[in-house]
A and B are shown apart, each in its own frame.
Chain A
Amino acid sequence: MHRWGMVIDLDKCSGCQACVVACHAENNIGIIGPEESAKGRTISWIELIPYIEGEYPHIKARLLPRPCMHCDHPPCTKVCPVNATYKNEEGLVAQINYRCIGCRYCTTACPYTVKYFNWYAPQWPKEMKGSLNRDVSIRTKGVVEKCTFCSHRLLKAREKVKAEGRDLLPEDYIPACVQACPGGAMYFGDLNDPFSTVSTLSRERRAFRLMEDLGTEPKVYYLSEGM
Chain B
Amino acid sequence: MDEKHLNVEVVDSTLREDAALFEPIRRTGKSFYITLLILGVVILWAVWAYLHQYRDGLGVTGLARPIFWGVYITNFVFFIGISHAGTLISAILRLAKAEWRRSITRSAEVITVLVLFFGVGNILIDLGQPDRMLNIIKFSQFQSPLLWDVSSITIYLAASSIYLYLPLIPDIALLRDYGEKWRWFYRILSLGWKGTERQHHLLEKGIAFMAILVIPVAVSVHTVVSFVFAMTIQPMWHSAIFGPYFVAGAIFSGIAALIVAMNVIRKVYHLEDYLRPVHFNNLGILLLVMTLLWFYFTFTEYLTTYYGGEPIHMAIFWSKFTGRFAPYFWGMFLFCFIIPLPILSFKRTRTPMGTLIASISVVIGMWLERFVIVVPTLTNPRIPGEMVLYFPTWIEWSIFAGCVAFFILLYMIFTKIFPIVSIWEVREGREKSMAEVQERIRTYLPGIGVE
Contact = CB atoms under 8 A, between A and B. Distances in A.
B129 A79 contact: no
B57 A111 contact: no
Contact of B65 (A41, A52, A75, A210): A41
A74 to B, nearest CB: 11
Nearest to B237: A108
A214 interface: yes
Contact of B64 (A40, A99, A108): A40
Given A41-B64, A50-B384, A119-B63, A82 B135 contact: yes
Contacts of B234: 108-109, 111
B383 A120 contact: no
A107 B128 contact: no
Contact of A101 (B67, B136, B145): B136
A113 B386 contact: no
B128 A108 contact: no
Contacts of A66: 383
Contact of A41 (B59, B126, B133, B233): B59
Interface residues of B, number: 44
Which among B133, B135, B145, B381 has the greatest number of chain A C-beta atoms within 10 A? B135
A211 B384 CA distance: 13
A222 to B, nearest CB: 13
Interface of chain A, main secondary structure:
loop
Interface string B373-389: 00000100111111010
Interface in A110-167: 111-113, 116-121, 140-144
Interface in A29-50: 36, 39-42, 49-50
Contacts of A103: 123, 126-128, 146
Which among B56, B59, B123 has the greatest number of chain A C-beta atoms within 10 A? B59
Nearest to B386: A40
B58 interface: yes
Which among B57, B67, B228 has the greatest number of chain A C-beta atoms within 10 A? B57
B129 A100 contact: yes
A49 B232 contact: no
A182 interface: no
14 contacts: A36-B59, A40-B388, A75-B232, A78-B144, A79-B145, A102-B58, A104-B68, A105-B144, A108-B68, A111-B381, A118-B128, A119-B58, A120-B59, A142-B127
What 7 A-B pairs have minimum CB-CB distances, sorted nearest first? Answer: A102-B128, A142-B128, A119-B59, A40-B388, A40-B64, A141-B57, A81-B146
